[in-house]
Every structure is written in structure tokens, then in C-alpha cells.
Amino acid sequence: MKRLSVLGLVASVFLGLVPATSTAVPQGTKVQSYKAGLDFPIDMAWVPGTKKVFFTEKNTGKVRVLAGRRLLGRACVDLAVASDGEQGALGIVLHPRFKKTKWLYVMYTNASPEEMRVSRFTVRQNRCRSHKLIMSGVAASSGYHNGGQLEFVGRKLFVSTGENHDPAQAQNTSTKLGKILRFNADGTIPATNPFSTANDKNPVWSYGHRNPFGLAHRPGTTKLYETENGPSCDDELNLIRKGRNYGWGDNYVCGTGRGENPVAPLRRWSPPIVPTDPWWYRGRLKKLSGSLYMGDFDGNLHRFVMNDAGTEVLDDRIIHRGGPIVDVSKGPGGWLYFMTPSEIFRIVPD
């Protein structure tokens, strides 16, 4: 049977084809609805120390603003997006010094020309102003395998791109398809990137990716984690290293890798579970602090217990089961939040 697409599967579950169930979170905590009635949110970004949250709406192209639990009627920005399949308004991230710079970054499928873009906006009075194009020209015409996530690590902007249904592109370090890319905050390309030369700066940081749908880093370190959607097998959790090959390419065989010295994932799922955007949580809820969390479209919220170095998964615990999860993040109050196609939840003390 042909595997459902990432966001297509979300829509199927959202329409009620898969019943939701629940399991207990750790003793002394509870799952609480934070904001319901949302229109296919994909990714959220919290302004630390405030109750303000920005999030993307996949199909409308809007970046919405939550002030506490109040959804502002006016969007920060309304982007003209293509929204078929896995296209739309996808990743969002704030500059690490957002309170000073006011810079907000969005990754989306531009409608015309039809391509993946990353844009930087300056936020004033909850409106996205002063648009600057950070990345453009990444093919998105297939409607699938767009990637679409953003993450700041060490004040560098990391961008995940899918291979646009062309596996050979994942092994080609001269293209932006099927890659994790690394930019400076202003959109320029660091000379220290692994494939940069004096005369040709290259944004590629790692390659051999199929559809990297999530990025997260461990606070206080430069360790970057990626979740990746496989074909009929091999959904992955990866620790991303500079210049390395993560094995997707033409004629891929389940459980292996293509190209030179492919890196094995930290965790592999076959059959697929469709993992989404993770978060390394360090916050007020001590019972959950110090672990990497990830949702999947089967409705599971995973807690990965790691070794001290963060280089090995010691345990994969399901701490909650419900509707499909598209994002995990830290949010207002310092609690752990997760998002479904219609609602934001958080885990708080019971």
C-alpha cells in the first residue's frame, strides 16, 4: 500500500479516520488544553518571558499571534502560499536575541514562483514588517518532501529541505534539495560550512536527507537533532554532524544507506510512525526537564532518555497518546507544549 504523505496523513486523522486514545503522563502532571479551534497550525515560537506565541497556519499562509490564550484577529503576516499536499506555511523561529532584533523567520512554499523560501520579518506591534528574503529558489513543484523546519544553533540559522521527490538530489551537495542548510542570521552563507570554498560559499551542512520534518537543539550546546520521514520504512531520529551523509538516495534499501559513509540514525522506525518537530525541554516542570521530546502522527508523544553526551537514545518512552502531533515546544510559563492540527496542549503540574 502506498504510504500516506506527511500532511495528508494529518488531514486523514484530523477528519476522524483514526480514533484518539490517551495514556497517563508522568505522575504529578496532567495534559491541559491551551487553545482549541485552530486552523491547521504547524509550528510555534514562544517569546521567552512573555505569554506571546507566534505560529504558522499551513493552508492559509498566515503567521498568527497568541497573546496568552487570546488569538489576535489580525495575522502578523499573510503569505501567498501554495498549500497542496505538504506545501504551505511551515517552519517558524525567532532570532535568539528577538527582544532586541525583533526578527522572526518563516519557511513556506511560495505560490508564484512555486518554491520553498525563508523570509525574515521585523515584528512591530504584532505585525511582521521589513521583509528580507533569506533563502529562495528551492524546488517545491512536486507538492511533497518540502522539509520546512528552522532552528537557531550558535546564532546560525539551520534550514531543513526535502528532496522534492527526487532521491538523487539528496546525494548532490551542489543543490539545496534533501539537505540541512546553514546560514548566518542575515542570509549570508558562512565560510566555515563544510562545502564552502573561497570562491563559492555553499549553504549545505549535511546531506542525504529525504524529508526532514523536524529540527531541535540541546540548550547550551551545538548538538542538532533532526526527525526524518522515510518511505515504507526507516523513519529516523538523527544527530546532525557537519558535512556528513545521512544515507537517502537512489535505490535506497531499508535499513541501509546510500553514498559515502552514511551515518546511522539514533533511532529508526519500521514501519513508519511519521515523526514530527521535536524539542529538547529544559524548564519549570522538573519531572520532564532534560530530555528530547517528539510527537508522531500516530498520536504518540515520545520522551527520549539520552546518555549524558546526548549521542545515544537509552530509552524511548511514550508519555501520552491522543490525536496526531505536529510540533513540540516550550511555551508560556516554561511548560512543555505540543500542537495538533486543531489545538495546542501543554503539560503542567497536576
Counting Cα atoms < 13 Å in the Cβ hemisphere of 122 gives 8
Q: For 251-267, write each residue's pLDDT tens digit.
A: 999 999 999 999 999 99
Please calculate the CA angle 91-233-329 and round it to the nearest 5 degrees.
Answer: 30
pLDDT at res. 6: 53
- Based on DSSP, count helices (H) and strands (E) in the chain, helices before strands: 2, 25
Tell me the CATH number for domain 6-26+38-332.
2.120.10.30
pLDDT at res. 18: 39
Give the span between the Cα atoms of 308 and 313, in whole angstroms: 10
Query: Hey, what amino acid is at 81?
Result: V
* Domain regions of the chain by residue span: 6-26+38-332
In this prediction, residues 36-50 reach a mean pLDDT of 98
Give the span between the Cα atoms of 198 and 213, in whole angstroms: 31
Beta bridge partners, 41, equal 57
Cβ atoms within 10 Å, residue 131: 12
Contact criterion met (CB below 8 Å) for 3 and 232: yes
pTM of the model: 0.95
Answer yes or no: is pLDDT of 4 > 80: no
In terms of Cβ atoms closer than 10 Å to its own Cβ (0-12, 13-18, 19+), residue 159 is buried
Answer yes or no: is pLDDT of 343 > 60: yes
pLDDT at res. 5: 52
In this prediction, residues 36-45 reach a mean pLDDT of 98
Give the span between the Cα atoms of 88 and 62, in whole angstroms: 9
Answer yes or no: is pLDDT of 102 > 80: yes
What percent of the chain stands above pLDDT 70? Answer: 93
pLDDT band (50, 70, 90) for residue 137: very high
Q: Which residue has the higher pLDDT, 31 or 5?
A: 31
Answer yes or no: is pLDDT of 11 > 70: no
Answer yes or no: is pLDDT of 88 > 60: yes
Nearest Cα to 47, choosing from 106, 93, 112? 93
Contact criterion met (CB below 8 Å) for 211 and 162: yes
In this prediction, residues 1-15 reach a mean pLDDT of 44
Q: For 29-39, write each residue's pLDDT tens digit.
A: 999 999 999 99
Q: For 184-199, write each residue's pLDDT tens digit.
A: 999 999 999 999 999 9
pLDDT at res. 24: 78
Answer yes or no: is pLDDT of 97 > 90: yes
pLDDT at res. 3: 41
The 3-class secondary structure across the chain, one letter per residue, is CCCCCHHHHHHHHHCCCCCCCCCCCCCCEEEEEEECCCCCEEEEEECCCCCEEEEEECCCCEEEEEECCEECCCCCEECCECCCCCCCEEEEEECCCHHHHCEEEEEEEECCCCEEEEEEEEEECCEEEEEEEEEEEEECCCCCCCEEEEEEECCEEEEEECCCCCHHHHHCCCCCCCEEEEECCCCCCCCCCCCCCCCCCCCEEEECCCCEEEEEECCCCCCEEEEECCCCCCEEEEEECCCCECCCCCCCCCCCCCCCCCCCCCEEECCCCCECECEEECCCCCCCCCEEEEEECCCEEEEEEECCCCCCEEEEEEEEECCCCCEEEECHHHCEEEECCCCEEEEEEC
Contact criterion met (CB below 8 Å) for 287 and 271: no
In this prediction, residues 154-176 reach a mean pLDDT of 97
Contact criterion met (CB below 8 Å) for 163 and 170: yes
In this prediction, residues 154-170 reach a mean pLDDT of 97
| C-alpha radius of gyration, the chain, whole number | 19
